[in-house]
């Protein structure tokens, strides 16, 4: 993937410009289908469960993801540039996130 592509850079800039949960909800709703949002939410849930060492079969059952997708999430979670780790660390400390997005 070419992250330096102007369209990809614009998407990243747009995401970083979101300031509230309401703005994020509205942007994601406009950007993706309901099914895509659910898929990405399930992948994040799988990453959280993997960090708690929950079995693939339980993750598959709870999220509806395939074993291939759970394995892919696991691979990305273990990579040196793991975005999942960053987000999971931040959401596990909600006060730091809430203060950044104006919820506290």
pLDDT digits (tens, 9 = 90+) for 5-48: 999 999 999 999 999 999 999 999 999 999 999 999 999 999 99
Mean pLDDT across 70-77: 95
Beta carbons of 97 and 89 less than 8 angstroms apart: no
Which of 49-58, 60-69, 82-91 has the weakest average pLDDT?
A: 82-91
| Domain residue spans of the chain | 1-31, 34-104
For the segment 37-51, what is each residue's pLDDT rounded down to a tens digit? 999 999 999 999 999
The fold adopted by the segment(s) 34-104 is 1.10.1270
DSSP one-letter string for 12-76: HHHHHH--SHHHHHHHHHHHS-HHHHHHHHHHHHHHHHHHTT--HHHHHHHH---HHHHHHHHHH
């Amino acid at each position: 993937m070419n992250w330096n592509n102007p369209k990809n850079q614009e998407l990243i800039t747009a995401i970083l410009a979101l300031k509230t949960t309401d703005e994020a909800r509205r942007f994601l709703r406009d950007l993706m289908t309901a099914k895509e949002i659910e898929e990405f939410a399930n992948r994040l849930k799988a990453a959280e469960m993997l960090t708690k060492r929950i079995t693939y079969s339980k993750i598959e059952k709870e999220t509806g993801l395939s074993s291939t997708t759970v394995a892919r999430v696991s691979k990305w979670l273990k990579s040196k540039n793991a975005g999942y780790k960053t987000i999971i660390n931040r959401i596990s400390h909600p006060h730091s996130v809430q203060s950044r997005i104006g919820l506290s």
